[in-house]
Amino acid sequence: MSTENEGNEVPPAPSAPPVPVESPAASADRAAPPAAPDPATPAPAAQSAAPGQEPAAHQAPPHAGTTAGTPPHASGAGAWPPPPPPPTVPAYAQGGGSGWGSSYAAQHPEGSKPAGRRGGLIAAVLVAALVAGGVGGGIGFWAADRNDNSTGSTTVSASNTPADLKRDPGTVADIASTALPSVVTIEAQGGNGEGGTGTGFVYDKQGHILTNNHVVASAADGGKLAATFSDGKKYDAEVVGRAEGYDVAVIKLKNPPSNLKPLPLGNSDKVAVGDSTIAIGAPFGLSNTVTTGIVSAKDRPVTSSDGASSKSSYMSALQTDASINPGNSGGPLLDAGGAVIGINSAIKPAESGGGLGGGGGQSGSIGLGFAIPVNQAKYVAQQLIKNGQAVYPVIGASVALQENTGGATISREGASGSQAVTPNGPADKAGLKPGDVITKLDDTVIDSGPTLIGQIWTHKPGDTVEITYKRDGKEHTTDVVLGQRKGES
């Protein structure tokens, strides 16, 4: 899945009308009081700065209260008794009329009204802010005036500093902090320069990383691979093995660090619908992203493709509503204990009704994400590390790949004109014939060919499964011992 996304340029915000500023008359003794506000003048709004600049700070208008100088009640130079000293004003009340602690009446002379509808909303917001400021400033001064030991601050400090905070075991924060150092962002680049970003996680201490095949496919033949950990350290890597049908791949760090911590692997067979999930990945290149959700469904038949290969992948997936986007592919889906229960692999795109996975555009999460069960992924990874190729269980019959057909129909003819039922193969030995419609595998209802393939691949070669099928309108059952196919042929 490519995570390269074109950014949309944000147009600059329209500038507000310029704010007229009156120059106060110069005086040797005191500042002249400001002129009375014009009722027809709209309330001033903050002026937008040019794009890329910080908004300009506007100077507050002169204080609207009584100016410094001779008090208004003094009758002359020798008046007795002398005028009382001006009241002490806290520092935060000095200056402009729009500052904290300023008087609402001083800023809004009686009889003044907003001018028309234009700027009415802005004026209302400003008034509300100023009233709140006046009340807050008044209370702050009142408290300071009556508490000799007060520092003047009305803030309340939390009992714990960030360094003192501890996350309880089992919380999302605790699980994420433990798992993130073992999750890598994978950059894959093909020989033609094309590639993308995905995710993987540490599988063992030897430096093997487990991920999706479609994450590394572009770099499999002569390309470049790199894995970056959450601490920013980057390592070159190489492909150990790929399984296109399972959409599983294993890569290895060329010079792995000695302190690798593999993520613990859970048991996906024990997962229940409603269990909590935590997904970690690099959606659209945003590394070390953590999202949460639940297991929405199990055994969900999913056919996915990256759009670059003619081959599809089939899985009986875990469905989750944890936010998964292009770039999350290959990342771990964790349970509430921090164990891996799946590999995030595909999403249902929002822009169309068909298809799954990362092909066909940069779609986003709509709460329908799908993960390969970890039990299956572990089995495949062991094969890839040991042999460089995967082994697939098979029934030895070709089936139609149309979806939602009421069953998996055995084709009348195989690929390239071959026989649909392999002579002396598992299906042939069990008595299956072309035209038979398989409707169940053990207790799982089969509604299409892809569903049958996904269910078969949850098993291993040599397993015995019960097949229910219809022939000429009659239902039959038979046991099939699964065969095997090596590699991607």
Annotated active-site positions, please?
A: 214, 247, 329
21 closest CA partner among 48, 44, 42 = 44
82 closest CA partner among 94, 70, 66, 100 = 70
Note the Cα 339 to chain centre separation in Å.
20
User: What stretches of 340-416 show up as alpha helix (H) in DSSP?
Assistant: 374-387
Specify the residue for token string 């500042």.
Answer: 31
Do residues 247 and 372 make contact, with C-beta atoms less than 8 angstroms apart? yes
Q: What is the DSSP letter of 88?
A: P
Do residues 305 and 360 make contact, with C-beta atoms less than 8 angstroms apart? no
Q: Is 266 exposed, middle or buried (0-12, 13-18, 19+ CB in 10 A)?
A: buried
Buried b (16+ CB within 10 A) or exposed e, 183-221: bbbbbbebeeeebbbbbbbbbeeebbbbbbbbbbbbbbe
Do residues 377 and 208 make contact, with C-beta atoms less than 8 angstroms apart? no
Q: How many CB atoms lie within 10 A of CB 450?
A: 22
Residue 89, SS3? coil
Do residues 394 and 365 make contact, with C-beta atoms less than 8 angstroms apart? no
Residue 199, SS3? strand
Q: How far apart are the first and last CA of the chain?
A: 24
For strands 408-409 and 437-441, give the pairing: antiparallel
What is the rounded distance in angstroms from the CA atom of residue 404 to the CA atom of residue 338?
Answer: 36
180 closest CA partner among 191, 165, 167 = 167
211 closest CA partner among 381, 64, 82 = 381
What is the rounded distance in angstroms from the CA atom of residue 429 to the CA atom of residue 444?
Answer: 22
Here the tokens at position 436 are 């038979």
Residue 288, C-beta contacts closer than 8 angstroms, at least 6 positions apart: 180, 183, 185, 230, 280, 282
Q: Is 126 exposed, middle or buried (0-12, 13-18, 19+ CB in 10 A)?
A: middle
What is the rounded distance in angstroms from the CA atom of residue 390 to the CA atom of residue 380?
Answer: 6
